[in-house]
Chains A and B, each alone.
Chain A
Amino acid sequence: EADIYQTPRYLVIGTGKKITLECSQTMGHDKMYWYQQDPGMELHLIHYSYGVNSTEKGDLSSESTVSRIRTEHFPLTLESARPSHTSQYLCASSVGTHYGYTFGSGTRLTVV
């Protein structure tokens, strides 16, 4: 039973559309993360949050934005999707880095 949920699982959308990828966790974790990954390839940290109203950009520059209004919710938004945004987006949460991450199932985004 997943404790971190990502929706949608798959999304195909046209260029220029605004999209929001949802991520929610029920574990009360303060730390949450978004990673971008081409299938089976390296994971790139694009955003992270250490708590409510705290968000930071990660190692990989991304045109997406995030918000953290509630502890359990960490949505990622693309204002204008482009084909270069086609990728898998993985959300994760952690009670502390030394405990590791719990990952969601991911959203596979295709922009046509």
Chain B
Amino acid sequence: DAGVTQSPTHLIKTRGQQVTLRCSPKSGHDTVSWYQQALGQGPQFIFQYYEEEERQRGNFPDRFSGHQYPNYSSELNVNALLLGDSALYLCASSLGQGYQETQYFGPGTRLLVL
């Protein structure tokens, strides 16, 4: 049973560029959430996708956008990259939006913006 997978594992970009990160949820899961974890901090919620729609959003600017496909995989797009966007980006999946569902996290994509 495949767990949550993310690609790429590492990425280096320069300021002003755009980046797309990808996530495949755990088998059987249909909800994908994205988190940003800066060095030495706890993960911060970016947004959540369910049934191909953004259902919740954290305190992140519009430069951060996403998409969910019919197969439940998801993308996180960040435009006009800033140095402060350097972080570990984590994808988490769960089944539905039931509040008792545990979220399973992927290995993350480490983004460095120069």
A binds B: no
| Residues of chain B whose beta carbon lies under 8 Å from any beta carbon of chain A | none
| Residues of chain A whose beta carbon lies under 8 Å from any beta carbon of chain B | none
